[in-house]
Amino acid sequence: MKSTMDFIEMKKNDEKITMLTAYDYPGALQAEAAGVDMILVGDSLGMTVLGYNSTVEVTLDDMIHHTKAVRRGAPDTYIVVDMPFGTYHVSHEEAVGNAIRLYQESGANAVKIEGAHLQYFVHRLVDAGIPVVGHLGLTPQSVGITGFKMQASSKEEAEELIGTLEVFQSLGVVMTVLEAIPADLAEKAAGAVEMPLIGIGAGVGTDGQVLVYHDVLKYGTGRPPRFVKQYGDFDGIGIKAIKAYVSEVKSKSFPDEHTTYKKKVYEDEDDR
């Protein structure tokens, strides 16, 4: 399994870091077999596998449940898990307690938190020995305020973002996800810190990329955002296969002789 040191080394060597979300055992098996450097058990699972409209409904127990399944499917891959909405804003005590529980019970290697104003909390987690991953730019847990659109589009916001990354780095944050920000800012940010920056909708200048499993595979998602590339068509393949199954049952061509146990337990009337 790669370590946070390896990711820093990859950044130094200009080797791009690949991250993909996974939420269950088969997805994790695929991610590990395909050789992704890191898996993110994102709270996007609220939308991709639970069918909610946003990530806001996702609970700490949901994250633990799914991450355990991902760990079983990807025993040798570095896993980052999201702290979900509402689990790190009420009080520092509660936030630290939730982070410890998530880290301890889920089997993840690091926990990810959204937003810039979490410095005391980050300090407490690092103090407790928990690797912390940041997430800046578009932070979907605040989508009620920001909307799903590009962030940090002014010079002031851009400078604030780089300032936050420098603070994160000084606090010991192991890496940070940058979502939906201008490509020139992301590239500048990557040059400003040694901490790896993983982009989604942030152009090619970050140290790595992350995409959502269901977006990459076109699996149960609607029209994806601009920054997504669909590399497969699971919906097409899946629906076609299910239709073939339904049709063969209706036409009595399934089950056939190959899928039936042939041992006789009732003798024919005539043999008696």
Q: Which amino acid is at 110?
A: A
Q: Which residue is nearest to Na ion (CB)?
A: 42
What is the sign, positive or negative, of the torsion defined by CA atoms of 183, 186, 188, 194?
Answer: negative
d(CA 82, CA 93): 18
Q: How far is the CB of 257 from ligand KIV (least distance, A)?
A: 46
Residue in 10, 82, 83, 111 binding ligand KIV, rule: CB under 6 A: 82
Has 194 been annotated as catalytic?
no
Q: Is 44 annotated as a binding residue?
A: yes
- Residue 62 is a binding residue for ligand KIV (CB under 6 A): no
- Residue 38 is a binding residue for ligand KIV (CB under 6 A): no
Contacting residues for 272 by C-beta, under 8 A, at least 6 apart: none
Strands 208-211 and 197-200: parallel
Q: Is 112 annotated as a binding residue?
A: yes
Residue with smaller CB distance to Na ion, 42 or 131: 42
Name which of Na ion, ligand KIV, none residue 208 binds, using a CB cut-off of 5 to 8 Å depending on partner kind.
Answer: none
- Residue 212 is a binding residue for ligand KIV (CB under 6 A): yes
In three state form, how does the secondary structure of 206-269 look? CCEEEECHHHHHCCCCCCCCCCCCCCCCHHHHHHHHHHHHHHHHHCCCCCCHHHCCCCCCCCCH
d(CA 76, CA 257): 41
Q: Is 264 annotated as a binding residue?
A: no
- Residue 42 is a binding residue for Na ion (CB under 5 A): yes
Give me the active site residues, please.
179
Per CB under 5 A, residues contacting Na ion are 42-43, 82
Per CB under 6 A, residues contacting ligand KIV are 21, 40, 42-44, 82, 135, 177, 179, 200, 210, 212
